[in-house]
């Protein structure tokens, strides 16, 4: 079946640290991959996406590369800010357009 | 684009009562999704529509749950004979058709069953 596994949180980093949040997936065929973010008190919103192997999605300094050989889509940022504190969800789209989410990773950035 | 709107924002009900939630999607979006989210978990798929047709309902949903999307516009999610285990955030999202199309979420309806 289709599933997404992401690293458990919370993840606590100091400002300007390097961030990696791991995500691996199981899927039939070649899904599109997404990272969504939920800031405190706000709804889920798309952060970035990649639609085929070796694509790199990027937004707001975050990047993730679609790796078919390792079925991974790890989220990275070179220098995090306090405002990046949020819950991050890795997700994939199935052949019939359902979006399946991981459990989320809470990120705390300390000033 | 006024975004996805959900009402009410909060609902407190007693066990055994029926509740209904409403979702107004982005007007040009033909896909509409319902998810449930509990504390510390990711959104869990419940059901989705293409226009007015319900495409799939999760096997996790009991017969107490029903959703409609008359005329392919707004959608309602009804829970009959609520149980304490139904307490959660119910999220609605809409999108254009296609596996690359991202979801646009509403702010959700938080249900508390006492």
Preceding amide of B8 cis, omega within 30: yes
Low-confidence ranges of chain B (pLDDT < 50): none
H/E element, A70? none
Query: For residue B36, what is the nearest residue in chain A, using CA coordinates?
Result: A101
CA dist., res. B7 & res. B76, Å (int): 10
| pLDDT at residue A59, as a whole number | 97
Strand order, beta sheet including B5-7: B5-7, B19-24, B75-79, B65-68
For the residues A74-92, what does the mean pLDDT come to?
A: 97
pLDDT per position as a tens digit, A19-57: 999 999 999 888 999 999 999 888 899 999 999 999 999
Please provide residue B71's backbone torsions phi and psi, each rounded to the nearest 5 degrees: 65, 15
Portion of chain B with pLDDT greater than 70, in percent: 98
Please report residues of B whose CB lies closer than 8 A to that of A95: 99
CA dist., res. B34 & res. A2, Å (int): 18
Portion of chain A with pLDDT greater than 70, in percent: 100
- Nearest by CB to residue A102, choosing from B42, B98, B105, is B42
- Nearest by CB to residue B42, choosing from A31, A32, A101, is A101
CA dist., res. A106 & res. A98, Å (int): 24
| pLDDT at residue B1, as a whole number | 54
């Amino acid at each position: 079946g289709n599933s997404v596994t992401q690293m458990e949180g919370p993840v606590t980093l100091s400002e300007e640290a390097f961030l990696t949040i791991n995500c691996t997936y199981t899927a039939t065929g070649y899904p599109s991959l997404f990272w969504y973010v939920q800031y405190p008190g706000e709804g889920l919103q798309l952060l970035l996406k990649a639609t085929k192997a070796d694509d790199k999605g990027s937004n707001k300094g975050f990047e993730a590369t679609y790796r078919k050989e390792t079925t991974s889509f790890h989220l990275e940022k070179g220098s995090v800010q306090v405002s990046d504190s949020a819950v991050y969800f890795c997700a994939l789209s199935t052949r019939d357009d359902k979006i399946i989410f991981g459990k989320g990773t809470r990120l705390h950035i300390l000033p | 684009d006024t975004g996805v709107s959900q009402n009410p924002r909060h609902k407190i009900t007693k066990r055994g009562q029926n509740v209904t939630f409403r979702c107004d999607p982005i007007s040009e979006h033909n896909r509409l999704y319902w998810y449930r989210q509990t504390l510390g978990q990711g959104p869990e798929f419940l059901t989705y529509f293409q226009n007015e047709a319900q495409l799939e309902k999760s096997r996790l949903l009991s017969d107490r749950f029903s959703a409609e999307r008359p005329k392919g516009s707004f959608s309602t999610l009804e829970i009959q004979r609520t149980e304490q285990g139904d307490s959660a955030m119910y999220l609605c999202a809409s999108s254009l058709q296609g596996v690359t199309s991202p979801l646009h979420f509403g702010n959700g309806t938080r249900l508390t069953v006492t």
